[in-house]
């Protein structure tokens, strides 16, 4: 076995000490350092989140006052059907459809009340209608229904060319200058306040 000179022994001891120190740094200090910086980042993110929540909490009373002012300035009742029960509201919706169709020059063939599911604060009321109309009159009716009061929505619409009008047009093509009649099926939905208007 070779014995090392004192100088080589010293260098070997210094090398082993450096290796032990590097392993100690790698095994203990580096993970501790990474954990410390990760925790610092998490703390910074949480502090930012707390600041955002604090600003929201501080702005809450002002936003509630703003909401109350908007609700007072815009009464909801004018947008709802003012009947007390869903059946009366559906009958009112049928009357509105008939009167607005008559004003627009649209023929109402039939109407049928549809069952709807109630929501929390308003009761949807729907009517299915079968109409006959020229395209320009139909556009006027749809505009009148969706832009007026109470608030009404066209949920679905189906347009079909009227086959009887087409066969008449083929027979008397030169004499008939009227536009084609369309068969229209649509669902109109309005809303009534739950248990009547407040």
Residues 147 and 57 in one domain: no
Q: Cα–Cα distance between 107 and 98 in angstroms, integer?
A: 9
Residues 6+ apart with CB under 8 A from 114: 126, 127, 128, 187
- For residue 79, what is the DSSP state? G
Residues 7 and 83 in one domain: no
CA distance 124 to 148: 17
Cα–Cα nearest to 90, from 126, 120, 119, 123: 126
DSSP 28: I
Collapsed DSSP state (helix, strand, coil) of residue 108:
strand
Domain boundary among 74, 94, 111: 74
Q: What's the structural domain count of the chain? A: 2
First to last CA, the chain: 105
Stated length of the chain? 198
CB-based contact 74:186 (threshold 8 Å): no
Same domain, 70 and 86: no
**Among candidate residues 162, 157, 159, the one with its CA nearest the CA of residue 179:** 162
pLDDT at 119: 65
| Same domain (yes/no): 160, 144 | yes
Q: What's the rounded mean pLDDT across residues 21-41?
A: 86
> Does 85 share its domain with 181?
yes
List the beta strands (DSSP E) in 38-194. Answer: 107-114, 122-133, 152-161, 182-193
Whether residue 49 lies inside any domain: the answer is: yes
Task: Flag whether pLDDT at 1 surpasses 60.
Answer: no
Express each pLDDT in 83-96 by its tens digit.
888 889 999 999 99
Instruction: Give me the percent of the chain exceeding a pLDDT of 70.
Output: 86
Q: Is residue 198 part of a domain?
A: no
Domain of residue 90 covers 79-193
Residue 180 has pLDDT above 50, yes or no: yes
For residue 150, the domain's CATH number is: 3.30.70.60
Q: What is the mean pLDDT of residues 4-30?
A: 86
Examine the fold and report which residue of 74, 99, 114 is the final residue of a domain before the chain moves on: 74
Coil vs helix vs strand at 86: helix
- The residue among 35, 50, 74 that closes a domain is 74
Indicate whether 116 and 65 sit together in one domain. no
Does residue 37 have a pLDDT over 50? yes
Strand, helix or coil for residue 179 = coil
Q: Are both 68 and 144 inside the same structural domain?
A: no
The confidence score (pLDDT) of residue 117 equals 77
Shared domain for 66 and 136, answered yes or no, is no
Q: Do 70 and 40 share a domain, yes or no?
A: yes
Digit-coded pLDDT (tens) for 113-129: 998 877 667 889 999 99
Is residue 59 located within the same domain as residue 24? yes
144, 66: one domain:
no
> 86 and 36 in one domain?
no
DSSP assignment string, 132-175: EE-HHHHHHHHHHHHHSSS-EEEEEEEEEE-HHHHHHHHHTTTT
């Amino acid at each position: 076995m070779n014995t090392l000179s004192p100088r080589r022994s010293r260098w070997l001891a210094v090398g082993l000490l450096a290796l032990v120190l590097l392993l100690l740094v790698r095994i203990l200090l580096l993970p501790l350092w990474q954990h410390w910086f990760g925790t610092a980042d998490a703390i910074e993110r949480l502090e930012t989140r707390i600041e955002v929540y604090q600003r929201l909490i501080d702005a809450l009373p002002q936003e509630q006052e703003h909401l109350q002012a908007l609700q007072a300035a815009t009464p909801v009742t004018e947008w709802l059907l003012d009947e007390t029960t869903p059946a009366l509201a559906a009958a009112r919706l049928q009357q509105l459809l008939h009167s607005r169709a008559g004003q627009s020059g649209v023929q109402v063939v039939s109407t049928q009340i549809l069952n709807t599911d109630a929501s929390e604060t308003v009761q949807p009321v729907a009517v299915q209608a079968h109409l006959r109309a020229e395209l320009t009159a139909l556009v006027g009716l749809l505009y009148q229904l969706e832009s007026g009061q109470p608030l009404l929505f066209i949920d679905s619409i189906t347009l079909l060319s009227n086959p009887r009008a087409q066969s008449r047009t083929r027979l008397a093509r030169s004499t008939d200058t009227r536009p084609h009649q369309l068969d229209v099926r649509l669902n109109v939905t309005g809303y009534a306040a739950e248990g009547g208007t407040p």
